[in-house]
Amino acid sequence: MPPVRRALPIVLLSLALVAGCRREIPNLDSPGTTIVAFGDSITAGYGADGPGTTYPERLAERIGRPVINAGVPGDTTADALARIEPMLAENPWLVIVELGGNDLLQQVPIERTEANLSAIVERLLAARTVPVLIEIHGPFGGGRYADLFERLGDKYHVPVLEDALPEILSDRTLKSDEIHPNAAGYEKLAQAVYEKLRPLLERRGAK
């Protein structure tokens, strides 16, 4: 058999494996109509300079539609899980989840944080929404937290915005205090979230 013909099955197998690794993001056909930012004080905009400077507001400007701010300062993952049903009453098709920093500050065991985040993602998926996770690590807890978000993304096939928030919080010029961005930091976070969402918005037909 000529070498080219012998190599053909290997090439076809490789292409099949690559195609099999491409994961379809769940719920892009969600019947929901809104976008919700669900999180803690960073989502709420603590440290911003005033109206219009939180990351959900800056994100809304980029995508040309409202982003509901469901951020509550001080929320742990357990707190957020307890209020997920009222948030779902906003009829979201996409929910941006920014949580875990307060778990770290309160020394919640990482296993409990992961269980709560898993429960949040599972509830969002069951409600036919698209969850998008914002990763925390670096100043917020090192590699174990990065691994946690990677596991969640792989397990549930949901997008994870990696590195953006830790990089902002490692730059003093982008912070209002040790754990919150300032207006410039929120602007940078909004841009990073927008870039992560843009392919989903395009497939949804919203942008």
Interval 39-53: pLDDT, tens: 999 999 999 988 899
Task: Give the pTM.
Answer: 0.87
Of residues 98, 178, 184, 179, the one with CA closest to residue 134:
98
Would you place residue 140 in the very low, low, confident or very high pLDDT band (cuts 50, 70, 90)? low
What percent of the chain is predicted at pLDDT more than 90? 79
Domains and CATH numbers, the chain: 26-204 (3.40.50.1110)
Structural contact between residues 135 and 149, judged by C-beta atoms closer than 8 angstroms: yes
- Look at residue 18 and tell me whether its pLDDT is greater than 50: no
